[in-house]
Structure formats: structure tokens, C-alpha cells
């Protein structure tokens, strides 16, 4: 069994310090990383990268941003991958942040849903003043969708779900995470949000762009919401 990582980044001559640390972390975990440079679409980048690797069905693929850092131990991280992906025959995607209830607005971090205790996971962020703080979404557990800062799944799961952009999306970079993980959930796979120390240097500013809103609206119009776990 091999573990691979696909990471989109803009310029190999200006690699973010967070990515340098992630590459070192992956190297120490014996994870093979492929950088997808200056892509025009995250859907196309991930799909082409996956096809180029051509992994075996029991291999693990990680899709993550280039602005995250791993703050925990290598062995603990690898144990999570083994426990949640290899040992669970129904495993879908896993990641550090998600929700067990996706409401009609398709915004996974919806504050009302959060207050209702439906969110799962833990991610650290950096304040404008440069201080690290924890965003504690909730206990680890099964979810319907996950945030795209980090996603991992077995190659067999990915082949069944697919990585191509749905035709109803206009934007090339938005809502891929909700699409991928919701498709896995609807196909009967179990998505899971874990708690492992990961720092995300983005605070979600890109949510304000027009393409995000267009893809969100398209997702709402083409999916039966809400999505929730069966009791």
C-alpha cells in the first residue's frame, strides 16, 4: 500500500513556507507528493494527477492546500490513515473539519448548525496579528461533507466517486470538496472528521468571490438538501 499526495500551488520559485514544512512532513511519513503547478482548475488538476499516478485500489490519496502545516507526530498521523481508511471497508473521505448535517444553504460551517452541535473536527488558524488559535468544531466523528483544506481517501473510493467537475459548476476552484464528499456520502461511504493538529493559514477569504457563490447556488439547485446521517 502506498500513500500519495496531490497539492496545487502557483509557483515553484515561490513555494510557501507552509508547503515546505508539509513536504518535509510527508517525506518523513514516506508519502509521495506530486505538486500541481499553476493549474487552471482544481478539478482538472486533481483528476489528471490521479490518472498520472494510477494508484492501486488500496493506495491512499491525499488532496490538500499548500498553506497548511502539520503540528502533530508522524506516527499519529499515519495511525489515523490506517484506522480510518484501511481498516474500514466502508471508508469514504477523511479530513480535519466537516459536518454531520449540510443544510439547505450548502454552507458546511453554517453557524446555526454549528450551535446545534453537528460540526466535527479541529483546525488551527492564524490571526491577523500572527497568533495561532484553535477553531474547535466538535468531537471527531462521521460526517456528510468535509472541508477541502485536507481530504484523504482510498483510490478505490475515489474511482467510484470521480474527480471531474460536474457540468452545472461554472467556477473551476470552488465547492469541489462539498461535491466530492457529498457524492461519497450518497454512494454509501462513511466520511469522517478526525482531530489532529493541523494549522491552516487561510481564514476563508476566498469564500467572498463570485465563483464560490455561483457554484454554491448551482450545488443547491442540483442536489437534494439537507444531507444528514441516518439514525
Q: pLDDT band at 68, cuts 50/70/90?
A: very high
**What are the residue boundaries of the structural domains of the chain, listed by start?**
3-228
Query: Considering just the CA atoms, what is the radius of gyration of the chain in Å?
Result: 16
Q: Is the pLDDT of residue 97 over 80?
A: yes
Are the C-beta atoms of residues 199 and 71 closer than 8 Å to each other? yes
**Angle (deg, nearest 10), helices 176-186 and 42-53:** 60
**Residues 190, 230: contact at Cβ < 8 Å?**
no
What is the pLDDT of the chain when averaged over all its residues? 94
Q: What pLDDT is recorded for position 128?
A: 80
Q: Which CATH architecture has domain 3-228?
A: Alpha-Beta Complex (3.90)
- Residue 87 CB-density burial (10 A; 0-12 exposed, 13-18 middle, 19+ buried): exposed
Could you give the CA distance from residue 158 to residue 185 in angstroms, rounded to a whole number? Answer: 12
Among residues 78, 65, 63, which one has the least CA distance to residue 27? 78
What whole-number distance in Å separates Cα of residue 26 and Cα of residue 31? 5
Per-residue pLDDT at 76 exceeds 90: yes
* pLDDT tier at 100, thresholds 50, 70, 90: very high
Residue 181 has pLDDT above 80, yes or no: yes
Amino acid at each position: 500500500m502506498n500513500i500519495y499526495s496531490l497539492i496545487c500551488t502557483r509557483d515553484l520559485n515561490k513555494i510557501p513556507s507552509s508547503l515546505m514544512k508539509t513536504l518535509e512532513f510527508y517525506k518523513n511519513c514516506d508519502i509521495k507528493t506530486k505538486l500541481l503547478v499553476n493549474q487552471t482548475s482544481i478539478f482538472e488538476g486533481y483528476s489528471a494527477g490521479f490518472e498520472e499516478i494510477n494508484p492501486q485500489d488500496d493506495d491512499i490519496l491525499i488532496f490538500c492546500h499548500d498553506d497548511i502545516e502539520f503540528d502533530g507526530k508522524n506516527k499519529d498521523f499515519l495511525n489515523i490513515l490506517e484506522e480510518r481508511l484501511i481498516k474500514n471497508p466502508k471508508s469514504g473521505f477523511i479530513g480535519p473539519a466537516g459536518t454531520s448535517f449540510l443544510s439547505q444553504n450548502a454552507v458546511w460551517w453554517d453557524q446555526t448548525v454549528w450551535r446545534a452541535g453537528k460540526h466535527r473536527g479541529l483546525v488551527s488558524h492564524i490571526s491577523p496579528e500572527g497568533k495561532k488559535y484553535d477553531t474547535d468544531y466538535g468531537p471527531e466523528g462521521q460526517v456528510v461533507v468535509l472541508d477541502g483544506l485536507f481530504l484523504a481517501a482510498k483510490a478505490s473510493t475515489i474511482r467510484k466517486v470521480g474527480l471531474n467537475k460536474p457540468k452545472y459548476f461554472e467556477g473551476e476552484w470552488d465547492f469541489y470538496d462539498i461535491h466530492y464528499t457529498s457524492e461519497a456520502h450518497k454512494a454509501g461511504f462513511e466520511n469522517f472528521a478526525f482531530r489532529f493538529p493541523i494549522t491552516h493559514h487561510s481564514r476563508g477569504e476566498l469564500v467572498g468571490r463570485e465563483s464560490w457563490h455561483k457554484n454554491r447556488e448551482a450545488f443547491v439547485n442540483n442536489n437534494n438538501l439537507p444531507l444528514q446521517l441516518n439514525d
